[in-house]
């Protein structure tokens, strides 16, 4: 299992458009992908309601988890969607 810890850079946090971009990227991944706060159970990263429900704010850290072939690539792409300040 691979994981990335990243800090959300979007001023909106992981809500609205940034969440939609994140979920779109997660949906492209051929494996299960989860996301969560470091101190909580992760949720399905391919579910917009689950991702928005995390209520992640600007500057907070999240953990993105994937397992399987291509997991590292998928995690790199997902990390990039939340660390881009323009998202």
Residues annotated as part of the active site: 15
Distance CA 32, CA 71 (A): 9
Q: What angle, rounded to 10 degrees, do the helices at 71-83 and 16-28 form?
A: 170
Distance CA 34, CA 19 (A): 13
């Amino acid at each position: 299992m691979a994981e990335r810890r990243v800090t959300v850079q979007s001023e909106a946090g992981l809500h609205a458009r940034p969440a939609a971009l994140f979920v779109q990227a997660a949906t492209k991944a051929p494996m299960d992908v989860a996301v969560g706060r470091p101190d909580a159970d992760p949720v399905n990263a391919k579910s917009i309601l689950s991702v928005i429900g995390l209520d992640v704010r600007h500057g907070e850290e999240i953990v993105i988890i994937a397992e399987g072939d291509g997991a590292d690539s998928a995690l790199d792409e997902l990390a990039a969607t939340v660390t881009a300040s323009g998202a």
